[in-house]
Chain A
Amino acid sequence: MNEIVNNTKTLPRRSISQWLFNPFSFVAGYQALFLGLGIMLISALFGFLGNTHFDGVLDVHKGLEAPLWLFLAEGIINWMSIAMPFFFFGLIVSTSSLRIIDVFGTQALSRWPYLITSIVMLPKATERFGIYLLSRFTSMAASVTMSYTDMLIFIFALLVTVIMTVWTVALMYKAYVVSCNIKGARAIVTFIVSLIGAEALSKLSILLLFEHL
């Protein structure tokens, strides 16, 4: 039993790029689920503090103040909306005997870059710039005064958000491929279909949730 542990030839090298883009080679199942749920909880807390709503699988918006449970619910809805179609396609397309805990666990963890987004969105400058832009587009009188610092903070937050969104999509794809063992064109097509469906489902669910506030 110890032979394999001590045999460096058979043990995988864990490079930084693997940790960044495919941590699911090493982490899956309950471990990924608990890590992902923990990160989701912290992201919701930061979202609550900065009024940053994750109101869709790939959506990040500054919005109105809301109770903490709503930010938590957004995270859970987004996670479930994407994990369910992946599991469904996994059952249909994959020839492997996949485990539900791997699909849901890895998908929970794949959303971790949004923790960084929720942190960079904390400064009030991002909110002020959002209100300023809205007033410009709707021809309403601006209710906030803008500074260069606000603009710089907003641009920085926007850039980070775009990068984190792309990163999240890359991680979601990797999580899907590893947990369901689907490759090639079938993986790409079912991933895109799932993502579009999940975006619509999560948007609708969160909108319904807002209506009941």
Chain B
Amino acid sequence: MKLLPTACPACNSQLKAKSLICTHCNTEIQGEYELPVLTRLSPDDQSFILEFIKSSGSLKEMARLLRLSYPTVRNRLDEIIERLKKTENPEDNNGKENP
């Protein structure tokens, strides 16, 4: 499956979805849609969050599954939280156009 591009290859700005299509009946919707915050993370980060949720939010369980130490897993989670905060910061939203 192709990876969802989230940043512009030319200027590195945040990309938005312009068109959505139903592959069943070919209905196509045009518009300008913000990508959900989680999709803006790297595939590795998304995979980590997915496993974290599957582990009921247990860092100990994550450490066991990934065969990493507890602080390493906790540090990774902290890094992702930081990235999420940066993604959500108001500067990004200033450029948001009318819904």
Size bracket, chain B contacts: 10 to 19
Interface string of B59-99 (1 = CB under 8 A from A): 00000011111111011001000000000000000000000
* With contact pairs A4-B66, A5-B65, A11-B66 given, residues A178 and B47 touching in the complex (Cβ less than 8 Å): no
Across-interface contacts of A25 in B (CB, < 8 A) = 68-69, 72
Across-interface contacts of A29 in B (CB, < 8 A) = 69-70
- B42 → chain A, closest Cβ, in Å? 12
The one of B66, B70, B71, B78 that contacts A10, using a Cβ cutoff of 8 Å: B66
Instruction: Provide the bound-state CA to CA distance between A97 and B59, in Å.
Output: 12
- A83 → chain B, closest Cβ, in Å? 14
Instruction: Provide the bound-state CA to CA distance between A97 and B72, in Å.
Output: 12
Question: Interface size (A, Cβ < 8 Å)?
Answer: 23
* With contact pairs A4-B51, A96-B74, A97-B74 given, residues A12 and B68 touching in the complex (Cβ less than 8 Å): yes
Instruction: Provide the bound-state CA to CA distance between A32 and B71, in Å.
Output: 12
Interface class of chain A by DSSP: loop
User: Are A10 and B72 in touch, CB under 8 angstroms?
Assistant: no
* With contact pairs A1-B54, A10-B47, A181-B78 given, residues A99 and B68 touching in the complex (Cβ less than 8 Å): no
Across-interface contacts of B78 in A (CB, < 8 A) = 95-96, 181
User: Are A26 and B68 in touch, CB under 8 angstroms?
Assistant: yes
A27 on interface, CB distance cutoff 8 Å: yes
A98 on interface, CB distance cutoff 8 Å: yes
User: Are A179 and B51 in touch, CB under 8 angstroms?
Assistant: no
Instruction: Provide the bound-state CA to CA distance between A95 and B70, in Å.
Output: 16
* With contact pairs A4-B51, A95-B78, A96-B78 given, residues A181 and B65 touching in the complex (Cβ less than 8 Å): no
Instruction: Provide the bound-state CA to CA distance between A178 and B72, in Å.
Output: 6
Q: A28-B71, A102-B71 are in contact. List 4 more A-B contacts (CB 8 A).
A: A4-B51, A10-B48, A28-B70, A95-B78
